[in-house]
Amino acid sequence: MSGHCPIIFCNLIATCAFYLSSQLGAEWLSDSVPQCIKLGDQMASFTLHGIPVSRGIAIGRAHLLAPAAMDVKHYLIGETEVEAEVQRLQSAVTRVRTELQTIRADLPKESPPELGAFVDVHLLILSDPMLAEMSLDIIRNRQYNAEWALVTQIDELSAQFDEIEDTYLRERKMDVLQVGERLLKVLTGTSTRLPEVDSDGASFANIVVVAYDISPADMLQFRDRAFAGFVTDLGGQNSHTAIVARSLDIPAAVGMNNASRLIKQDDWIIIDGDAGVVIVDPATVILKQYRERQAHLLRSRRKLGKIKKTRAVTLDGTEISLLANIELPSDCAAAMDAGASGVGLFRSEFLFMGRIGPQHELPTEDEQFESYRQAVTAMKGRPVTIRTLDVGADKPINTEEQTALNPALGLRAIRYCLAEPQLFLTQLRAILRASAFGKVKLLIPMLAHAFEIDQTLAMIGQAKQQLRDEGVAFDESIQTGAMIEIPAAALALPMFIKRMDFLSIGTNDLIQYTLAIDRVDHEVAHLYNPLHPAVLFLLSTVIALGRKAGIPVSVCGEMAGDVKFTRLLLGMGLLEFSMHPAQLLAVKQEVLNSDLDELTLQTRKILRNTEPSAIAAAVSQMRMTVA
């Protein structure tokens, strides 16, 4: 977004950035063009390809949820009707607020913490003046009917979100659309419901929801019903709906584009959540194969629960550290439950989001300290790696600053922190104070230059001296590490090894910067390839040089939690993986069935190859030949 970011819109962005998802699933997107599966001369079924966001297989009958939607009546109202129309919209807002509050209150105590957070996000969006108040202004000033006014404002917000460079923030547009859809359903008298299923209809009890889009709140309403999986036209890897699907362990595929138009009510559907593929009206032989796969997956998942307390040791006796990525202190419970050996990435910026604008103050040192302390205490002696603030450019703390033309390459992360030394010093003091309560490690994002490293270490030294002078306890031997997410950093690694205690590879940005593509841009998404020879060269180089120097190296991006790449990374010599807690047991199983000597030999051959198709085939073969 160019020019000055309107303060009210920045507040809405911050509201939508309340929670960040884990990074699960595939790194590519296929066109959603139906493909026929031919059995003999009969066209038995067709497939749709989208984005896999939650693993597993779902088989059931299609239930279509029609959008209220954006195709609503547009008409002008008279001056005498304005207040009545204003009242209609205000009543809709009140009703939706009550619905969301009820959903929030009815969440079981054992629910993952992010589920309630997403409902809270929708409640905050509903209260934001950028949505409801400005829609009311349109009714009063332009004399549009309520539905038209709401759609007009939603379209304006969508256009603004589309100009945001950041992947996560751009996808928050979907949360605004979902709240708008819920309001429109109330205004138009439509509803989002699943059919009742009686006890005699067990064979039809598995329902696959097919929708243009589906909100997390609606998904939570369905949780006690026969809800096997869902397919949506919209959505992405980082959408809140995708995160809820993973949290509830519901197979899903999103970004299907035309699914809600091509699939008919009561069609039999198979969702292959691992591949992001939907098979409509499958032939008997295909249905049988997928039922067998589904049963096998269920047995495998039950077995995974048995290895929670098992040490992650390879067949040749090498211990692997499996760590968790978290956003909030409350996420530590899931990390502990999954058996994580610590936190490899605490994304601290989410303590700051929602604190934007002239009427909002940044979190104080004490507020930050308390959040870090809670996480450290919750991990019960296991290490907690806290990444310093990764905001700036398209995620501004100060709404008066101008947004960069290319935020991904602009004043962000450590560049931003060094430009705002008081803000950085406050965070460093808070993190250091938390280190008195357990093992804490400092992780610095987006370093590329020696002078940046030196300035950062000097700031850490200044924060330490201030605390000493004040008699405040902290860990004098706290370790400081660098994120390797810029190709220049990977290629100039000796200057990092000389100055830092550990390294953490952020594969998401490293791949994006190496290949010069935005992986959520549908025009170039097919170019995002973790197995590109250049990416593998950088990964293997960082891991090898780090091990040679005796400096720990971890991977904390999507590749760490994707079992397709576990053995490849092990073969490169990686000993530390950090991922979403939900991915940890599956990765541990790969570790337990791996022989490092054999994997090392296979990986060396792969790294000598420069043909992408051959590399992909070899990586796939690794999982079949080593066990």
Q: Over the stretch 511-526, which tens digit does the pLDDT of each residue have?
A: 989 999 876 555 676 6
Segments forming the whole domain that contains residue 243: 46-66+203-300
Pick the more confident residue, 175 or 194: 175
Local structure of 241: helix, strand or coil: helix
248 domain residue, yes or no: yes
Task: Report whether 261 belongs to an annotated binding site.
Answer: no
38 domain residue, yes or no: no
Sign of the CA dihedral running 307, 308, 311, 316: positive
Domain boundary among 300, 330, 348: 300
Pick the more confident residue, 521 or 178: 178
Nearest Cα neighbor of 50 from 217, 274, 243, 287 is 274
Helices within 7-131 (DSSP H only): 7-16, 82-105, 113-127
Domain boundary among 123, 154, 188: 188
Verify that 513 and 375 share a domain, yes or no.
yes
* Spacing of C-alpha 423 from chain mean position: 26
Helices within 128-236 (DSSP H only): 132-142, 146-162, 167-171, 173-188, 216-222
Task: Report whether 337 belongs to an annotated binding site.
Answer: no
240 pLDDT more than 60: yes
The token duo for 478 is 């706290």
248 pLDDT more than 60: yes
> In angstroms, rounded to a whole number, what is the distance separating the alpha carbons of residues 314 and 586?
14
Mean pLDDT value across the chain: 82
Verify that 461 and 503 share a domain, yes or no.
yes
Task: Report whether 281 belongs to an annotated binding site.
Answer: no
Verify that 151 and 269 share a domain, yes or no.
no
Average pLDDT over residues 433-443: 98
> In angstroms, rounded to a whole number, what is the distance separating the alpha carbons of residues 588 and 378?
22
How would residue 503 be classed by pLDDT, with cut points 50, 70 and 90? very high
pLDDT of residue 536: 98
21 pLDDT more than 50: no
309 domain residue, yes or no: no
26 domain residue, yes or no: no
Verify that 261 and 363 share a domain, yes or no.
no
Q: Is residue 589 a contact partner of residue 304, using CB atoms and an 8 Å limit?
A: yes
416 domain residue, yes or no: yes
How would residue 193 be classed by pLDDT, with cut points 50, 70 and 90? low
Containing H/E element for 538?
helix 533-549
For residue 271, list its beta bridge partners. Answer: 58, 278
Nearest Cα neighbor of 512 from 450, 466, 557 is 557
Nearest Cα neighbor of 24 from 563, 572, 592, 384 is 563
pLDDT of residue 444: 98
**How many degrees, rounded to 5, is the angle at CA 570 between CA 565 and CA 575?**
120
Task: Report whether 110 belongs to an annotated binding site.
Answer: no
pLDDT of residue 487: 97
> In angstroms, rounded to a whole number, what is the distance separating the alpha carbons of residues 71 and 479?
56
The token duo for 258 is 């035309």
Task: State pLDDT tens for residues 525-578.
Answer: 668 889 999 999 999 999 999 999 999 999 998 899 889 999 999 999 999 999
Pair type for strands 553-555 and 502-505: parallel
626 pLDDT more than 60: no
> In angstroms, rounded to a whole number, what is the distance separating the alpha carbons of residues 331 and 309?
19
pLDDT of residue 64: 83
> Which residues have a catalytic role annotated?
240, 556
Nearest Cα neighbor of 56 from 267, 298, 308 is 298
